[in-house]
A and B are shown apart, each in its own frame.
Chain A
Amino acid sequence: MTSYALFLGCTIPARQPHYEISARKSLTKLGIELVDLENMTCCAPPPLQSVDLETSLSIAAYNICLAEEADLNIITLCTGCFESLSIANALLKEKKELRKRVNETLSVVGKEFRGSKEVKHYLQVLRDDLGLGRLKDSITKDLSDLKAATFYGCHSLRPSSLLRFDDPEAPRIFDDLVETIGAKSIAYRHKLRCCGGLLRGYADDVALAIARDKIVNTTKAGADCIVTLCPFCFLTLDLGQVLMKSTFHEEYKMPVLHYSELLSLGLGIDPKELALEFHKISLEKVLTKIK
């Protein structure tokens, strides 16, 4: 069994228990042990990097130090956490001067970034630790009727030089993982374009206009659902459709679900155990296609 320090972040435990429960159930069932460490904090994502980049890197480094002390690599669910922690990990391993300054800051809490651990996205863990073959063998349900529009979001892929997740212009990992569990990954226009989520709270109208493009394009392509990796993308696209109705007077009913939820369903976990009531757009259309 592979063990990882689970980095939950802020949004998932506070807003999206359906993401957390599906990730815990599916990953554990596949033999990946998730260790909850005390004293982890926010990862210091773009909104905090906007306030002060070096402080944000220090906060991310503090969290990596906790995993280093526990002698565990980190697994992330939220793409924002993956980005913040990966950037800090890569930059501080690479840039000696920056690392010195950050370690001076961390000395006030008795920590030192050593650069001894890795930060992994759970898709990388599924592909590299478990392997596509074993993943396929674990699936007990038939998902072959399901046309899924994978949405990578931005911060799994970019900045690619620091994240090293996949080719930023032609990624495969997510599509491969969707097809391994039996669903069909479909092509759609502007697949790799942002959801606009980070503009929520500053320019809601702009954010919603960008999200609308995603819903329109996946609908036109005949998708049964959008599959997401990031709680912010999920919120922007799921709750976003409710806002599109009141703002643009356009009604969409595109189900949005996290990959861990689709995986849980494929593993035969009872939908009643997955807190699906937290979705704004009903998953009925998806559930009826899974046999």
Chain B
Amino acid sequence: MLHGKEDKHSNSFSKEVANQLGGETVNFCYQCGTCASSCPVAKVTERFNPREVLRQLLLGERREVLFGDAIWLCCSCYNCQERCPQKVEIADVFYALRNLAIKEGKMPNIYFEFSAGLTNEGRIVPISKFLEKKRTEIGLPPLKPAGVEAVRKILSATGFDKLSRKKEESS
């Protein structure tokens, strides 16, 4: 049984996740399944069960977890995180896992599109000419310019820009 970060049995993958922002609480999981029974995604598909992902993680199955489909199926609703009796920040653990997977070059297209929108426009949903015209017609004020230069500097300072470039190279 695992009892937190200091446990001598915890493997290198669960330590890696626990050292990642969002992943700190992962080793407190005792596999009760409250997360799975609270999960709206697990209700409709067999492709996702948060307890099973955490189990694989705690068993050190790094490749299966990071390169599998399941970590992308958490809908970030935080139901599990609210209810976890061990206070594992489960939704945040999924962010930590996705952050690691992306560092390894595994990035689903939709996330690449969002990242590109942020880098190019400072906003992840581009505004069309039709909508710009429509906004004026219905009396909305012109949209203030986004701080795209500032965003680019921040993305470059944290290395985020390199993460999305990695995807471009591999596709």
Query: Which residues of A does B touch, CB under 8 Å?
Result: 8, 10-11, 13-15, 17, 20-21, 24, 36-42, 44-55, 58-59, 62, 66, 98, 105-106, 108-109, 111, 154-155, 158-160, 168-169, 193-194, 196-199, 201-203, 206-207, 209-210, 213, 273, 275
Chain A binding surface SS class = helix
What number of B residues sit within 8 Å (CB to CB) of A? Answer: 68
**Chain A contacts for B21, CB-based, 8 A:** 53-54, 98
A55-B107 Cα distance, complex, nearest whole Å = 16
Q: Quick check: B122 and A41 within 8 Å, CB to CB? A: yes
A160-B81 Cα distance, complex, nearest whole Å = 10
A263-B48 Cα distance, complex, nearest whole Å = 39
Q: Quick check: B145 and A105 within 8 Å, CB to CB? A: no
**Chain A contacts for B138, CB-based, 8 A:** 17, 21, 273, 275
Q: Quick check: B146 and A209 within 8 Å, CB to CB? A: no
A51-B153 Cα distance, complex, nearest whole Å = 17
Q: Quick check: A194 and B75 within 8 Å, CB to CB? A: yes
A275-B148 Cα distance, complex, nearest whole Å = 29
A113-B140 Cα distance, complex, nearest whole Å = 31
A198-B78 Cα distance, complex, nearest whole Å = 12
Q: Quick check: B145 and A38 within 8 Å, CB to CB? A: yes
**Which of B75, B154, B155 is the one whose CB lies under 8 Å from A199?**
B75
A160-B84 Cα distance, complex, nearest whole Å = 13
B64 contacts the other chain (CB 8 A): no
**Chain A contacts for B155, CB-based, 8 A:** 55
**Which of A48, A210, A275 is the one whose CB lies under 8 Å from B40?**
A210
Q: How far is the CB of B47 from chain A (nearest CB, A)?
A: 7
Q: A10-B124, A47-B114 are in contact. Are A17 and B131 (CB under 8 A)?
A: yes
Q: Quick check: B154 and A39 within 8 Å, CB to CB? A: no
Interface residues of B in 25-41 (CB under 8 A from A): 40-41
**Chain B contacts for A48, CB-based, 8 A:** 114-115, 118, 124
**Which of A55, A98, A201 is the one whose CB lies under 8 Å from B160?**
A55
